[in-house]
Structure 1
Amino acid sequence: MSRPTTRVLSLLEVLQDRGLVPADELARRLEVDTRAVRRYVTALRELGVPVESVRGRYGGYRLARGARLPPLMLADEEAVAVAAALAVAGEGAGAGEPSPADRALIKLNRVLPAALRQRVDTLAAATSVTGPAALTPDPELALTLATAVRARRTVRIEHSTGPREVDPFGLVVHARRWYLVGHDHLRDAVRVFRLDRVTGAAELPRPFSPPEDFDPVAHVLHALTFGGWAHRTEVWLDTDLDSARARLPATSGELRPCPDGGVLLVSGVEQLPGMARLLAGLPWRFTVLGPPALVDALDAHVASLTGALARSRGAGQGRPGDEDRSAGTFP
């Protein structure tokens, strides 16, 4: 580092990364003496960057909180990670006026090198978002997969269950998780892979043709609703489709309008008592069409509520459960 301006910017980068940093450590990092560090701090302050001095044995310099946001110093991979997160967050915000994420992405794109900006645009185009976005996974992994989606080339992924070769159809962000949807050559079927279980990916020189009108979001929702669950349930709801969609989360099941009125909720569940509690909390009439075990689970839940109601009505004489406690047991 030979230019004072470079050292001033490097000082700012260290303060952004570390918080409070002793003056002698800054001097070592910048390869100067402490007097030069003081000059660089003064230069930052003259530029409007709020740098605080902290005296004492554990003192040093730090950026002030609650003041004007200082310029950010980002490495290429950091800039790509931020831009990718902003791109996905903006897509999940819905239509209307540009969101804060949209506006921040526009500003960041102005200073990104053309090659990096193109990769970020590719990631945004290859990713579908169903709601509030999650934190972006490893930027290089997400960008590699997105590039393969756009180029329609097979990728080799390092998955927690072992290496796989996959024809990537799309990336989906749902319920704060990232998913890769594609044709798994090992299983010879379309599969959904969580990106937090993928540690690496490499594009292969092998083109593929995705199925026509394939919807990655619909496939992910269907897989999360029915894939590997212990029970398949069907319940008729006395409401309309819009009301059902507004009340029930997307992962609760598929909602289908019925010709004679109402909505059919088709779900995959692991525990029937949990489904019984969900149904009991709905504001509409409903009819369980199957399986019979769900009716039994609903009956047990109603019995539990009836018992709680009876105990509550009889609680006027003293605290609830006093008799049981005197016998050494609890209700």
Structure 2
Amino acid sequence: MSRPVTRVLALLGILQDRDLVPAEELARRLDVDARAVRRYITALRDMDIPVESVRGRYSGYRLARSARLPPLMLADDEAVAVAVALATGKQEQMAEPGPGDRALVKLNRVLPAPLRHRVTALIAAASGTAGAPTPEPHLVMTLAVAVRSRRTVRIEHTRGEREVSPYGLVVHAHRWYLVGHDHLRDSIRMYRLDRISRAAELPGRFTPPEGFDPVNHVLRTLTLGAWTHRAEVWLDTDLETARDRLPVTFGNLRPCPGGGVLLVSGAEDLSAMARILTGLPWPFTVKSPPALVTALAEHVADLTGAVARSRPAP
């Protein structure tokens, strides 16, 4: 660093990374002496950036809170994480641009082109990201670029190394999932990103299956694949009403030719599912399994007993 202005900005970046930084460390990292550090501190204060001097055994400098926001120094991965959070963190579309939209516009204006392309790739590759924390930036960027460029990746997963043709990144219930074709198992699989330690692009390219929807695959797998029992229940309502009332994780809904909606869901505890069904606002018919009908009858018997006990004595 040869220019004082560059050193002043570097000093600001160091102070933003730590709560308290000793003067000796600042001098060493800026490659200057203690007198120069004091000059740069004065320069920051002249720009109305509040820098406190802390004396005593644990002496040094730190940024203080103030009425105005000082310039924010971000590393590449930090800038990418902020941009992605702004772009994907909105819970709903708003008619007028909100503070997050305006901040994203400002950030995109100053992002270097390679970083801006990485952010664009991640937003395009990821689905359902509202409200979800972004995982390790380098990992998620590598996977997002591979999804967009249709390149195979090698991932290091807790279950071992895998080669995957990535079809998409999906966020559900505050977790990120990679969906793609697992070359070892020769089938479509999904992997949680918090269980992937590393990813690297490979030379091979791929073409995703026509009409494949990564979001639907994740929802179907989480709803049905992890449960012991598969249940089919006919609901006396229309598809739009059922979708408005039931969460997407409750099961798959599809209209029946003769009217009504077929609910296909998974359950670990059929007694619990029977209790949920009796709380629905519509008439219903259990199609399968027979054990759910038995669980429903037992629940009705319990309710009937509760009604009998609750009636006043004659």
User: Which bracket does the TM-score occupy, shorter chain normalised?
Assistant: 0.7 to 0.9
SS at match of 1:205: strand
SS at match of 1:268: strand
Q: Is the 8 A contact 1:50 1:68 kept in 2?
A: no
Look up the match of 2:4. Answer: 4
Q: Which moved more, 1:19-28 or 1:120-129?
A: 19-28
CA distance in 1 between partners of 2:126 and 2:238 (Å):
30
Look up the match of 1:115. Answer: 114
Give the partner amino acid of 2:16: Q
RMSD of aligned residue pairs (Cα, Å) = 2.9
Look up the match of 1:321. Answer: none
Give the partner amino acid of 1:79: A
SS at match of 2:226: coil
- Offset of 1:240 from its aligned partner? 3.0
Q: Is the 8 A contact 2:84 2:122 kept in 1?
A: yes
Cα separation, partners in 2 of 1:116 and 1:271, compared to 1, 3 Å: same
Name structure 2 gaps, 5 residues minimum: none
Q: 1:60-209 to 2 correspondence within 5 Å?
A: 60-65=60-65, 67-90=67-90, 93-94=92-93, 96-129=95-128, 132-209=130-207
Q: Is the 8 A contact 2:223 2:265 kept in 1?
A: yes
Cα separation, partners in 2 of 1:68 and 1:272, compared to 1, 3 Å: farther
CA distance in 2 between partners of 1:66 and 1:228 (Å):
51
CA distance in 1 between partners of 2:117 and 2:179 (Å):
22
Look up the match of 2:268. Answer: 270
Cα separation, partners in 2 of 1:186 and 1:48, compared to 1, 3 Å: same
CA distance in 2 between partners of 1:273 and 1:80 (Å):
47
CA distance in 2 between partners of 1:195 and 1:63 (Å):
35
Cα separation, partners in 2 of 1:39 and 1:150, compared to 1, 3 Å: same
SS at match of 2:89: helix
> What do residues 199-224 of structure 1 show as CA deviations (whole Å, max 9, x unaligned)?
11121111222111221111111111
Give the partner amino acid of 2:104: L
CA distance in 1 between partners of 2:288 and 2:49 (Å):
65
Give the partner amino acid of 2:69: L
Alignment counterpart, residue 216 of structure 1, candidates 190, 214, 233: 214
SS at match of 1:67: coil
Are positions 1:234 and 2:232 aligned together?
A: yes
Q: Is the 8 A contact 1:232 1:291 kept in 2?
A: yes
Q: Which moved more, 1:240-249 or 1:55-64?
A: 55-64
Are positions 1:49 and 2:49 aligned together?
A: yes
CA distance in 1 between partners of 2:75 and 2:245 (Å):
43
- Offset of 1:253 from its aligned partner? 0.5
> What do residues 132-173 of structure 1 show as CA deviations (whole Å, max 9, x unaligned)?
231112222212222222222211111111111111111112
